[in-house]
Amino acid sequence: MAFSHFPPPAQKKALSRLIHQHLGIETLVLFSQSVGRAHHIPTSPRIEHQQPHLMQNPPKRRKLDLGESLRRLSHDDYTIGWVCALATEAAAAMAMLDQIHPALPTHARDSNSYTLGSIGRHNIVIACLPAGIYGTTSAATVASNMFISFGSIHHLVMVGIGGGVPSASVDIRLGDVVVSIPTPCCEGVVQYDYGKAIRKGHFERTGTLNKPSTALLTAVNNVRAADLRNGSQIPVVISEMLARNPQMVETFTPPGSQRDLLFASDYEHDPAEPTCEFCDREKLLIRSTRSSDRPVVHYGLIASGNQVIKHAQTRDLLAAELNGILCFEMEAAGLMDNFPCLVIRGVSDYSDSHKNKDWQG
């Protein structure tokens, strides 16, 4: 399946200059990372450039006002595509918009439902996968339909939840964020076939995927540098979003570190129990206490396939053969071949049998 509106190199270069001159696509990456924090969302377009002492009283974002636009936007005014798999992910993305725009008619062959809006000077199209229909094929269909109706989209982000891959070398916790970037072995997202892995007892890679655009990867590094300088602004972003949307507090408030439980890989959850209340605490892995409750943003490989990984030993087997992946998810591989996108995932479980929905909101 090919996208017919992939911009030529010269056009992409001009767009990159425009974005950096007017707002900086770094802002979009920061917003997306904050949505990935278990669906909590980012802050003002300038907040990542402020000093830490200013973060205590962050600037208030503009109230949404549909009447501000001097003209009705057309399909060609929208240049950023944002794809979500779950309703909670879409709700978080919508809550981040500075403005929500009136709907536009879509192509007769386009079955998607869209939310249109803007963050700073970026006009954004948000689409969610159909309820209950997930995986790489569904994601590819949604993205393909989006490009039929909005032919000027130049950058695509896929934001949502994922299953973390804790290891001795990478201390991943629930609520952390994983951002896909290329490594020496892969292009940021690696596709695998879960069924073949189970039958043959080892991982079988099923494809080579494209890496995100240079503009997005440059933005990622700039955000990364800002975090190293000032610390992650994600908690500020989350607090600001919840203050603007108090009805979201119950669903989108992080559960807290006491609900972050990592069990030994060989200890299975009792399927008769809906929660881990009665799981053996002696099987918990002891991890050092973090000095801050700020989420950590990890950069590296994301594994994408069509089935949920919820078995710790399978997780560890695949991770060992996938060159240090940081999380699993189910949609990105459907996008990367046809339109390179930036994939951002909030870690909502550990890809084991103890997974639940506590950290999905």
**DSSP helix, strand, coil percent of the chain (3-state; round to 5):** 35, 15, 50
Q: For residue 288, is it within any domain?
A: yes
Q: For residue 4, is it within any domain?
A: no
148: CATH: 3.40.50.1580
Q: For residue 49, is it within any domain?
A: yes
Q: What is the pTM of this model?
A: 0.80
Q: For residue 239, is it within any domain?
A: yes
Residue 16: both structure tokens together: 């990159």
Q: For residue 63, is it within any domain?
A: yes
| Residue-by-residue pLDDT tens, the chain, 361 positions | 433 343 333 333 332 332 333 334 565 566 566 665 544 433 333 323 333 332 334 344 544 444 444 468 999 999 999 999 999 999 999 998 889 999 999 999 999 999 999 988 889 999 999 998 888 889 999 999 999 999 999 999 999 999 999 998 999 999 999 999 988 878 888 887 655 555 555 666 655 577 888 888 998 999 899 889 988 877 787 788 888 899 998 888 778 888 899 999 999 999 999 889 899 999 999 999 988 878 899 999 999 888 888 999 989 988 888 778 999 988 888 887 777 789 999 999 999 999 877 777 6
Q: For residue 204, is it within any domain?
A: yes
Q: For residue 358, is it within any domain?
A: no
Other CB atoms within a 10 A radius of the CB of residue 35 amount to 32
Strands 122-128 and 80-84 turn out to be parallel
What is the tally of structural domains in the chain? 1
Quick: pLDDT tens for 25-81: 565 566 566 665 544 433 333 323 333 332 334 344 544 444 444 468 999 999 999
Q: What's 175's DSSP letter?
A: T
**Residues of the domain holding 25:** 9-349
Q: For residue 361, is it within any domain?
A: no
